[in-house]
Chain A
Amino acid sequence: MKFKGKRGAEGGAFRKKFFWKKDFLLLFGLILVLAVLIHGTEIQSVEEYYLLHLDDVTPESETVTLSITCQTVFEHEKVLDPALREGDLLPSDGVILPPTEYVLREGDTVFDILSRAVRHEKIQMEFQGADKSPFGSVYIQGIHWLYEFSCGPLSGWMYRVDGEFPQCGCSRYSLHDGQCVEWIYTCELGKDIGAEWMGGQR
């Protein structure tokens, strides 16, 4: 009995010690699982990660800034397409897309950035593909239901890169890091937005 008792007492201590260790392990596991659950279980392959985070702006990524505006229509409301005049289809401040930074992918043209941006922001856009346009470049017909000639015979979309109006189609203009692209609606063939070369001025 004694032996047994002694052994029993010893065993109890051992057991106690062992038990606590086991509990600790369990607890540790528990916390770990909890931590993972809280942090999220998103596990992705490299390609997937790349695909899904291609357009995430990070300090290293090359970017361009894009904006889309149509303030000029408010100076020509008389000739604005009635369908656009009614309701509040057009933003009251004329800003369809405020200056937003987008990641520049290799070989991106002005058109590539615009088309990614409008799809991302769910902005309506219609264009004529490069193959169907005689300029051999994409031609932007309308953005946000505002089309060429929607606001008079001299109206349409133009773009400016770093303050200059390039003379080539938007799908022919390749961008580089840090450039600023502005899509601006003109009602006077560029005159109202400072495009000097247009408008027959010589």
Chain B
Amino acid sequence: MKKRRKLSALCLLLAVAILAPAGAETAFAAERPVSALEAAVSGKDSFASEDSEAEIFKAGSSPFKETASAPTLEVSLTDGATVRNDRLSFEVTARGKKGEKIPSYVTLNGEPVGSLWDDGEKTGYTLAFSEAGRQTVTVSASSEGEETVKSFTLFYRPAKKGERIGTATVSVEVFSLGCGYLIPPVSLPILAGENAAQALVRLLCEEGFVCYFGGEEEDGFYLAYIADGGARPESFNGYLRSREPKNPRALEISPAIPDDLTGYLEKSGEFYGPDDYEKNWQGFLGEFVFAGGAGWMYSLNNRFPNVSLSDSFLSDGDVMRVQFTLAYGADIGGGKALGTGGNADFYPVANRDSLTKTLEKAMSGALSDRGGEALREALAVAGKLNASQEEVDGAERALREALEKSGETEAPGSGETTGSGTSGSAENTETGPSGNAGNTGGGTSGDAGPIESAGNEGNAWQGETTGAFPSAPFESQTGEGSRPAPDDTDAPSEGETPSEPEESRPGAGGNSSEPEDGEGELPSLLAVARGIVEWKKRDLGLPPDGGLLEGSFLSLAGSTAGDWYPIALSLLGLEDNFPAYLSALREAVEKRYRTPGRLSSAKATEWHRISLAVLAAGGDPTSFGRDENGELIDLIADGTYERGRTASLGKQGINGWIWGLITIDAKGYEVPDGAFTGREDMIKEILSRQLPDGGWALSGSHSDPDLTAMALQALAPYARGAESRVEEVSEETADAVKKAVDRALTFLSEAQLPTGDFESWGTRNCESAAQGIIALCCLGLDPLTDSRFVKEGKTLLDGLLLYRRPDGGFAHSYEADPNNPGAMPAQSDSMAGEQALLALAALIRRGEGKTSLYDFRTVGIDVPSGTIFTEEDRRAVEALPDRLTTAQYGTVLSLLEKLNRAANFPGREAYLARLEEAKAALAALFEEIEAIGAAIERLPSPETLTLRDGRAVEELLDRVGELSEADREKIEGLAELMEAEARIKSLRRELVLGVLLSAVFLMLTGVLVLRFIGRRRERAARRGSAPEDSENGDG
């Protein structure tokens, strides 16, 4: 099977929309400026006059004279139509005087609309409506000074998401295998907000099948296989499975490819034999089954759209037919449909849309016995690919008549079907064979070039945005799709292509510093960076196949241990779960703002680090969450220019000024007039702290390479030539910065050790080398070649890589401290790792010509617009226990984040509710743990505990008992509570015992006293009476 997964034009055809970049669109925009529209000269369009009653004929030329020579426009829009979905896709076929394809230009309410896909035949557009009501769409094309403009008026009536906005007739056909319908035409409700891919997946699920797809339902959907409802594998040939149907149905087909079709296939040389399905594919029908050109395509109102299903939106009355092709569409009338070269149709294929609709009616309602024959006949004709239009129409008519006789078809229904009157398909009925009406014949082969290159661009783009999926299948898929040579399958498998520029790092004799690299070849910088991320994941016990910003990492959001990693990941351009981190960060910031004094009143750098992390994760630090008064939190103002109102930026020393400046420059934030501290103030503060030896230090008169490097990073934007902000400060400040930077560089150069690294605080370490690299990159210098920073052939990078460990992480230092038995020299360390990661990011960004580190002006996080809440995710939600533990915080947060971005699906509300509930419960849990800790602290110490505290201790114990084992560990002072419990128990026992013993004591005393009294009486009686009367005493 593997050999067949070679280049396939079909792959291109079908994946076209996945890959569709805006490359073509920008080209057209340039060719055809907006203003030209106003000066448009229009011509009569002979092709699509039915489409548009509202053509505009502008004065200036007589359109009728030059009908033949004016550009023609064919637009698949219906004037006056009401649209319920907020998006609408349509196609434009624009031809010049000689019938050649020319660029077209579309506006919606005066705003230009970019093309979604463009090929040798037609151009696809998607309109996105924002406001209800009348929408004016103009389509224009010009050729040799002549212009044709068409205008359409649409009415957009918005619907609530998930609302039913009509029905479409949908079928899944396997005519090419002689198997008739897999899913006979059904009437499928169209839900607002749902695209055709989602509708199809829904239908397949209802019908008991699953599909395997590339891309996402929301974006770039590619239907790779339709499979047995019970198909187990989560992925197949790199494609993900859709959700499991409730009532799985087997894919029972017995392929019998029509003979004439077999002939064509054999000629194509990409035919794998008539028993390929039985042998190799049982239960899976899709690409490469039987033939290299096999796969699923779809027609919408008898056109084969050149966009992905996820970019098509169904409207009421549409007919969507999903069809299995063996020859890139040439067997089903879609050979030229996508304009991507390939074959011409083998034979004319009749329009079956009316027949499809009538079949739907016939099969949904009870057709009388007499109609049975007509139905069988209609099904047979429908399934016969090369049936003529007359045959098809005849079968349709016969079936409709049979239906009418059965009294099943009401009048309007039949009226609708007679003239094949649904808007979109109208024009095609005349031209007979399918939607590829105006074939120009040319460009078949010539198309391949541009398409492939477009596909290439698309690959990179797709790779960037499909973070939710394992990347390997996409790489292999797109790799195949984009390589012209079929044998070249393994070429793109490295997945490291973006790092190529860096792989050629200067030798600089660093081989010895590579502990695990036997061949002496250094791994690329990106590979080193990935190694750190992998190490960190292992360190935190995160699953290796996921990202770093998941699970337990999310609880680090807002802490020193957490924030630097996402900052580095983002600057490296690595994908990860940034939305989840952003959400965790927001929670953390809001919590701190609501707890007085918690966002450290002393450390401004907390704000700076968090601000950078927010930027890195794609958020806006100037309005990030809300404080206790419900006001938007502005981390930038609070942390930089207005910081001085509460405490000096420099309260914690030079660090506060340095990072304040870096933060405010991170996105070029404006410092408002009247702000407490301005940019220039910060620069001056930093400059004023420069030591006589040229560097900076936290204290003392000897500079520290670490801090000197950081100061350089802050000053860099005011010193270097390009991207300079030097105009933003006064001339003297700029001069001072320049001088300061030169002196600091001299100091750093002198401080560099022969091994390439630095010593800071008396210890040779990883972080100083990392900061040095970042500083040089920020200054626009090349750390690998700048002669000031190459010592005995060793560069700063060599110095940094000294600390790389075999586990992929970086060590802080190798120097062991005898006084320091617990410190771990030569072991991977989180801080060393994050700073190394930042240094690598700086080098890679420099290599790629991107903005310097911490300059986020061009750093954007591509948050995929549509995300799928996969079966696995759903199961994860369902698996959440009723009693949550804090360990689930990260999971809940990332699931919730994902669900919030995911498109609607049945049952979404329930999942959302469950996750919201879980999040609230976890927030309460964290509070409870803190509250218990505080309550324990309020208890008297065990020695002074009294019985009166018993109830309080018991209550606390009950509360602790409610928590999970792991969460109990999180309670501060739990041991004290246990002590208190023992003390109380002991006190109680003491009390009971005391009472008991006291009672015994009293009893004994009583008895003793009574006896004493008794004896005294006896004695007295004896004394009083005669001795002989002794018996009296007995009484």
Binding site for B on A (CB under 8 A): 4-5, 8-9, 12, 19, 22-23, 26-27, 29-30, 33-34, 36-37, 40-44, 47-48, 51-52, 109, 119-120, 122, 128, 131-136, 141, 147-150, 153-154, 161, 164-169, 171-174, 188-189, 191, 197-202
**Minimum CB–CB distance for B665 against chain A, Å:** 22
**Minimum CB–CB distance for A176 against chain B, Å:** 10
- Whose C-beta in chain A lies nearest to the C-beta of B937? A119
**Minimum CB–CB distance for A148 against chain B, Å:** 7
> In the complex, what residues of A have CB within 8 A of residue B983's CB?
52
Contact A30 B1005 (CB under 8 A): yes
17 intermolecular pairs with C-beta atoms under 8 Å apart: A12-B1030, A26-B1008, A33-B1001, A37-B994, A37-B997, A37-B998, A41-B989, A119-B976, A133-B559, A148-B603, A149-B651, A166-B817, A166-B822, A167-B820, A168-B820, A174-B821, A174-B822
> In the complex, what residues of A have CB within 8 A of residue B704's CB?
200
What per-residue 1/0 map shows which CB atoms of B597-612 lie under 8 Å from chain A?
0001011000000000
> In the complex, what residues of B have CB within 8 A of residue A148's CB?
602-603, 652
Contact A23 B1008 (CB under 8 A): yes
- Per the 8 Å Cβ criterion, residues 759-779 of B in contact with A are 759, 761-763
Q: How far is the CA of A120 from the CA of B698 in the complex (A)?
A: 35
Whether A149 contacts B1011 in the complex (CB less than 8 A), given A30-B1001, A166-B820, A174-B821, comes out as no
Q: How far is the CA of A149 from the CA of B602 in the complex (A)?
A: 6
Whether A172 contacts B653 in the complex (CB less than 8 A), given A8-B1031, A48-B985, A189-B698, comes out as no
Contact B823 A167 (CB under 8 A): yes
Contact A202 B702 (CB under 8 A): yes
> In the complex, what residues of B have CB within 8 A of residue A48's CB?
982, 985-986
**Minimum CB–CB distance for B700 against chain A, Å:** 4
Most buried by B among A12, A23, A149, A171: A149
- Whose C-beta in chain A lies nearest to the C-beta of B1005? A30
Contact B1000 A33 (CB under 8 A): yes
> In the complex, what residues of A have CB within 8 A of residue B562's CB?
132
Contact A134 B560 (CB under 8 A): yes
> In the complex, what residues of A have CB within 8 A of residue B1004's CB?
26, 29-30, 33
Contact B982 A52 (CB under 8 A): yes
A-B CB proximity, top 8 nearest: A153-B653, A172-B822, A168-B823, A41-B993, A134-B831, A132-B559, A149-B602, A33-B1001
Contact B978 A51 (CB under 8 A): yes
Task: Tell me the number of A-to-B contacts counted with CB atoms below 8 Å.
Answer: 170
- Whose C-beta in chain A lies nearest to the C-beta of B707? A200
Within 8 Å by CB of A167, from B819, B830, B986, lies B819
Known: A109-B822, A136-B830, A173-B820. 20 other contacts (CB 8 A): A8-B1034, A9-B1030, A26-B1004, A26-B1007, A37-B997, A41-B990, A41-B993, A42-B986, A47-B982, A122-B937, A128-B559, A132-B559, A134-B564, A149-B653, A153-B698, A161-B819, A167-B763, A167-B823, A173-B821, A198-B761
> In the complex, what residues of B have CB within 8 A of residue A133's CB?
559-561
- Per the 8 Å Cβ criterion, residues 533-587 of B in contact with A are 556, 559-562, 564
Asked if B956 is at the interface (CB within 8 A of a chain A CB), the reply is no
Q: How far is the CA of A29 from the CA of B994 in the complex (A)?
A: 15
> In the complex, what residues of A have CB within 8 A of residue B560's CB?
128, 132-134
Q: How far is the CA of A172 from the CA of B997 in the complex (A)?
A: 51
**Minimum CB–CB distance for A77 against chain B, Å:** 16
**Minimum CB–CB distance for B373 against chain A, Å:** 76
Within 8 Å by CB of B819, from A5, A9, A30, A164, lies A164
**Minimum CB–CB distance for B555 against chain A, Å:** 8
> In the complex, what residues of B have CB within 8 A of residue A173's CB?
820-822
Q: How far is the CA of A191 from the CA of B664 in the complex (A)?
A: 33
> In the complex, what residues of B have CB within 8 A of residue A189's CB?
698-700
> In the complex, what residues of A have CB within 8 A of residue B600's CB?
141
- Whose C-beta in chain B lies nearest to the C-beta of A139? B560
Size class of the B contact interface (CB-based, 8 Å) = 35 or more
Within 8 Å by CB of B561, from A19, A131, A166, lies A131
Asked if B979 is at the interface (CB within 8 A of a chain A CB), the reply is yes
Within 8 Å by CB of B700, from A131, A135, A169, A200, lies A200
Q: How far is the CA of A120 from the CA of B829 in the complex (A)?
A: 33
- Whose C-beta in chain A lies nearest to the C-beta of B704? A200
Q: How far is the CA of A173 from the CA of B962 in the complex (A)?
A: 34
> In the complex, what residues of A have CB within 8 A of residue B653's CB?
149, 153-154
**Minimum CB–CB distance for A109 against chain B, Å:** 7
**Minimum CB–CB distance for A186 against chain B, Å:** 10
**Minimum CB–CB distance for B647 against chain A, Å:** 9
Asked if B834 is at the interface (CB within 8 A of a chain A CB), the reply is yes
Whether A200 contacts B822 in the complex (CB less than 8 A), given A131-B556, A153-B653, comes out as no
**Minimum CB–CB distance for B611 against chain A, Å:** 18
Most buried by B among A153, A191, A200: A200
Q: How far is the CA of A149 from the CA of B650 in the complex (A)?
A: 10
Asked if B1028 is at the interface (CB within 8 A of a chain A CB), the reply is yes
Q: How far is the CA of A135 from the CA of B561 in the complex (A)?
A: 8
> In the complex, what residues of A have CB within 8 A of residue B998's CB?
37
Contact B937 A5 (CB under 8 A): no
Most buried by B among A26, A41, A43: A41
> In the complex, what residues of B have CB within 8 A of residue A26's CB?
1004, 1007-1008, 1011
- Per the 8 Å Cβ criterion, residues 981-1035 of B in contact with A are 982-983, 985-986, 989-991, 993-994, 997-998, 1000-1001, 1004-1005, 1007-1008, 1011-1012, 1015, 1028, 1030-1031, 1033-1034
Whether A23 contacts B698 in the complex (CB less than 8 A), given A29-B1004, A33-B1001, A136-B830, comes out as no
> In the complex, what residues of B have CB within 8 A of residue A134's CB?
560-561, 564, 830-831, 834
> In the complex, what residues of A have CB within 8 A of residue B1001's CB?
30, 33-34, 37
> In the complex, what residues of B have CB within 8 A of residue A199's CB?
698-700
- Whose C-beta in chain A lies nearest to the C-beta of B1031? A8
Contact B989 A43 (CB under 8 A): yes
Contact B973 A119 (CB under 8 A): yes
Asked if B963 is at the interface (CB within 8 A of a chain A CB), the reply is no
- Whose C-beta in chain A lies nearest to the C-beta of B983? A52
- Whose C-beta in chain A lies nearest to the C-beta of B564? A134
Asked if B853 is at the interface (CB within 8 A of a chain A CB), the reply is no
> In the complex, what residues of B have CB within 8 A of residue A41's CB?
989-991, 993-994, 997
**Minimum CB–CB distance for B832 against chain A, Å:** 9
**Minimum CB–CB distance for B1011 against chain A, Å:** 6
Q: How far is the CA of A96 from the CA of B403 in the complex (A)?
A: 97
> In the complex, what residues of A have CB within 8 A of residue B993's CB?
41, 43
Contact B819 A201 (CB under 8 A): no
**Minimum CB–CB distance for B822 against chain A, Å:** 3
Q: How far is the CA of A154 from the CA of B704 in the complex (A)?
A: 15
Asked if B697 is at the interface (CB within 8 A of a chain A CB), the reply is yes
Contact B602 A150 (CB under 8 A): yes
> In the complex, what residues of A have CB within 8 A of residue B763's CB?
167
**Minimum CB–CB distance for A74 against chain B, Å:** 19
> In the complex, what residues of A have CB within 8 A of residue B283's CB?
none
Contact A166 B1030 (CB under 8 A): no
> In the complex, what residues of B have CB within 8 A of residue A164's CB?
819
Contact B941 A5 (CB under 8 A): no
Q: How far is the CA of A166 from the CA of B997 in the complex (A)?
A: 57
- Whose C-beta in chain A lies nearest to the C-beta of B1001? A33
- Whose C-beta in chain B lies nearest to the C-beta of A48? B982
Contact A153 B652 (CB under 8 A): yes
**Minimum CB–CB distance for A133 against chain B, Å:** 6
Contact A166 B819 (CB under 8 A): yes
Q: How far is the CA of A30 from the CA of B508 in the complex (A)?
A: 95
Asked if B703 is at the interface (CB within 8 A of a chain A CB), the reply is yes
Within 8 Å by CB of B698, from A27, A132, A171, A200, lies A200
> In the complex, what residues of A have CB within 8 A of residue B1033's CB?
12
Q: How far is the CA of A171 from the CA of B824 in the complex (A)?
A: 12
- Whose C-beta in chain A lies nearest to the C-beta of B760? A200
Q: How far is the CA of A30 from the CA of B653 in the complex (A)?
A: 74
**Minimum CB–CB distance for B826 against chain A, Å:** 14
Asked if B942 is at the interface (CB within 8 A of a chain A CB), the reply is yes
> In the complex, what residues of B have CB within 8 A of residue A153's CB?
650-654, 656, 698-699
Within 8 Å by CB of A166, from B652, B823, B1031, lies B823
**Minimum CB–CB distance for A79 against chain B, Å:** 9
